[in-house]
Amino acid sequence: MKNPFDTLDDILLKGAQKVVDKAYDIGYDKYDVLRKNNSLTSASITIMGLYGVMETMYSTNNHILEPAIFVLSGLFLKLKSDSKINQMEEYENDLLSKNLKPPSYRKIPKYLRSIGSSILLSASAICFYAYFSEFNLHGFSNNSQSQQLGKYILLSGGFLATSLVANDYLIDTTPKPPSAKKSKLWDRIKEAAREYITPKPELIPIPVKKPDRRYR
């Protein structure tokens, strides 16, 4: 019987592969998806830090250093990760041009990766639940401003945990050659609308006079 965590790992990887394959159909590729997911990760960390800084204004907690570090970490992560994605894109496209399959980046067994993903996804679900719940959050002041900011921090944490799982599987997906990348869906919609609004003029054939037999 197959290990259930191995099965979960396969399901998550197949889901990530479907997302990447669909991206090529609407004008994006694996690396565009990774960059957008990286933006979500960085934004989540930065926003958690910003809300943490704001929360110190409404509570007795004066530890502003930790949330400030989150803000700076999010900005640094964005620059560093985008650089690595650019290197990966160049490397994998070079392999594809030589008809070679890009390598797998998984460094741990499948079951360990799926266990880590399960923990992160569970944490994400708890964060989302806490955000939409009505009870007060422990660790934050009882005033409404502090509680609301605490919920925003948890919401950002939920997106962070989800994006970390997504990133781990998106990296390991199989890319397609750059030629498989279609024009962006929005560009195709604009082109179709342009053709509908300003249709091409209909060409009217010019009648050709038959030569007069008298000059034959």
pLDDT by residue for the chain (216 residues), tens only, comes to: 677 878 889 999 999 999 999 999 888 999 999 999 999 999 999 988 888 888 777 766 666 777 788 888 888 888 889 999 999 999 999 999 898 888 888 878 888 888 899 999 899 998 888 888 876 676 566 667 777 888 888 889 999 999 999 999 999 999 998 888 877 666 667 666 776 677 666 666 666 666 655 555
- Token code pair at residue 79: 């620059």
CA distance 175 to 181: 10
**Residue 62: per-residue pLDDT:** 62
**Residue 187: per-residue pLDDT:** 67
Q: What is the DSSP letter of 177?
A: -
**Residue 68: per-residue pLDDT:** 80
Q: What is the DSSP letter of 57?
A: T
CA distance 143 to 128: 21
CA distance 156 to 20: 24
CA distance 36 to 67: 23
Secondary structure (3-state) at 98: coil
